[in-house]
Structure 1
Amino acid sequence: MDEIEKIIIKFLSQEANRTELEKLEDLLKTDKGIRVFNSFVKTQYISTLSMTEFDVNKAKASIKDRLKKDKRLTRINLYKRMAVAASVMLILGITFYLGYYTDQKSGPEVVQQPQTIVAGTEKAILTLGNGDEVVLEKGKKFQTGEVSSNGEELVYTDKRHSKVVEKEQLYNYLTIPRGGQFFIKLSDGTEVWLNSETKLKYPVTFAEGLTRKVELIYGEVYFKVSPSTEHKGAGFHVLTKAQEINVLGTEFNIRAYNNDEVMATTLVEGKIRIKKGEVSEILKPNQQAKISEQSDQIDIQEIDVSQEISWVNGLFAFNEKPLEEILTVLSRWYDTEVVFENAKQKKFVFTGILERTQSVEDILKLIEATSEGQLQFEIQEQTIIIK
C-alpha cells in the first residue's frame, strides 16, 4: 500500500494529521487525483462486501468514527473542502450494501406505490416591496431594478453610493417552500443560503453607515457576512423570534423553525455575540448556542460544525440522531408528511452521511436495513408511514 492510500484511510477514519491532510488536499485538486481517490474507496468497499456475512454493527461503528468531533479549526476548513469527495465512499457503500444485502437475504423492503416523492430543488417566492410576489425556480429568469435571478440564485446590486436613508429603505421577503432551497447575495455582498421551509426579511439596499439588519422569520439559514470594514464600520445584525445576533464578519448557521423548541446558532468562522433578553454571550468557532423561547439562558457547547452545515454542501449528516428528528429533516426536503404507527419507533437511532439528491426511497431502504427488522416504511402518495 503506497503513501497516498494510507493517507486516504487515515482521512476517512479522521486520524490524518495536518501535513497528511494538506497532501490529500493537493491530490483532490486534480481530476486524476479525484479518480484515484474514488477508485481506491470503491475497491475497499467491494472487498468488504464480498464477505459472506456483512456486519451491520461494524458498519455503523465505522460511520460513527468518521463523524468524530474535530476541534481544530485548520482541520475543519480542510474537511469542509473535501466533504463531498469523502461522501462518495458512503454513497458507494450504500449502493453495494443494499445490492448485496438484497441478494443474500430476504430482508424487509420499503413498501411503496409508484414514485411520487422527489428530492428538493432551487425554488422560492420573492415578495417585493410593493407586495407583488414572484415565483423563482430553475429555468426561469427574473430581473427588476436592483435585483436579478437566474432561477437558482438571487443577486442584489450594490447601491451604497445612493446614500439611502433608513426611512426610505424597502424590504423584500424570500420564502422557501418545503422541498426547496435558494441562495441570495445581498446588496452589501453578504451571501445567504436558505434551507427548506424558511422565510427571510432583508432590505433591498442597506442604509450607508448604519447597522445592517436582516430578520429570520423562521427556518434555517447559513450566512457568510461581508465584514464591517468594507461598510464604514457598519455592523450586521440578525434578528429571530427570540434572539439578536451581532455579527463581526463571519460564517455561521441559524436553525429556528416554527416548531422547534430550541433555536441553534452554530459558528464556523469569526465571532458573533448572541443576545437573549438581558443575557448575552460571545460564540467562538466550533461552538453552538442553544436558546429556548421560554428562557433567557444561552447554552453553549463545542460541536462538530461540519455536520451542522452539511446541508449547504448538499449532504444530510446524521450522527446518532433519533428517527423522529431525521424524518422531520427529510419531510422538509422531500415535502412529505410522516406518520408513526408506534411512538417507540421515534427513538430509533441512525448514523450516516447521505446526498440530498438521493431518492427518499433509497434513504429509507438504508435506514430500514440497518434497523435489523425493527422498522418498515411504506410510502402512500406524499406520506411516509413507519410500521
Structure 2
Amino acid sequence: MIAIDAMGGDHGPAVTVCGAGLVLDERPDLFFQLHGDEARINAELARLPKLKARSVVVHTDQCVAMDEKPAQAIRRRNTSLANAINAVKSGEARAVISAGNTGALMALSKMILKMMTDDLERPAIGCSWPNKKGFGTVLDVGANVTSDARQLIEFALMGAAFHRAVRGVEKPSIGLLNVGSEDVKGHEEVREAHKLLRENALGLNYHGFVEGTDLCAGTVDVVVTDGFTGNVALKTAEGTARFIKDLLKEAFKSSPLAMLGALVAGPALKAMAQRIDPAAGNGGPLLGLKGIVIKSHGGADVRAFSNAIKVGLSLAASGYERDIIESLKQFSQSIDEAEQAAIAAAAAGTSVEDKPAASQLEAAGNKVN
C-alpha cells in the first residue's frame, strides 16, 4: 500500500491521482491510499477504473497550502498530508508520496514518524541528479541550511544507502562538494568531514572533494553538501536545463531551414531533452526517518509524479532503512571508541594529534555533545 497526499502540489488530484494510475499500469499488483477531498479524487478515479478498483479514498476537507508555515500545518492534525504520513506510522502504508509544502512535510514527518536514531536531528533530502553516467545522488538539497562535520558524514552514510537501494551500486563512490579539490579549501566543517571520511574508518568508498562541475560529469555516485548549497545548486541546474530547452526551441523556429534541421534531428533532441528533464529524476526521499517519505516537485506533471512514486517503491522493496541504521550505529561506535582513546591518551600523556583518526572523530563527537 502506498499513501498519496492527493491534494499536495500545484495541481492536486489532476496530477497525483493520475500519476498513481500511470504507475499502476506498470505495477498492477499495487494498492493506493488517496488522501484528500473525496469529491475531487473520485472525479479523477471515474476516468481510471483500474486505479479505482485498487484504491481506498480517505476523505478530509483539510489540506496544507503550499505557502503555509510548518507551525500552522503541525497544529492541524486532519490534513491530507498528516493523514497520509500517519498511514505509514500505523503500518497501513509502506511509503507516503507528496508534492506539497516541503517545510510542512518535513516538520510533520519528523513529528509523526520520528528519526531513526536519537543522534539524528533532522532528515536530509536526497535527489537524483542526471549526469553522463546516468543518475547520481545529491544530498542535502534543502532540509538543513547549515551542517556540521558529523551531519555531513551522516549524509554520506544515508546517501550511500539510498543510492545502493535505488541504483543498485553496491559500494557507491562519495564526494564532498567544495570550492576546490585541495585539502585547505572550504570552511572548517567541510574540511573536518573530509578528514574523517579520508581516514575511511566507516568503510565508505570516499573519493574526496568534488566541485560543481563534477555534478553532471558523474565523477562520483553520491555528492554530499549542506542544504543551502545543495538547494541553490539544484534550482540552478533545473533553471539551466529549462533555459537550454527554450533556447533550442527558439533556434529551431528561427527559419525554415532551422525547422527542417529540427525535423531531422528530432529523435536525438527528444532523447537529450529527456536526459536533462528535471521530471526524470523527480522524487526526493527524506532520509533518516522511521518510514519512507518521498517529496515530489510541487509543479510536477503526471509523469514526474509517477517517477516520485517509483522512488518510494524502490526504497520499499529494499533494505535501505536497516542499511542506514547499521551504518549510523557503526559511526556512533567509532565516535565512542575515539573518545575513549583520546581519554586514555590524555591520561598517558600522549598527544591526541598522534592519533589522527581518534582526534578527528573526537572533534566530530564534541560538536554533538
TM-score tier (shorter): under 0.3
Q: TM-score, normalised by structure 1?
A: 0.26
Q: TM-score, normalised by structure 2?
A: 0.27
Relative contact order, higher structure (CA 8 A, sep 6+): 2
More helix by share: 2
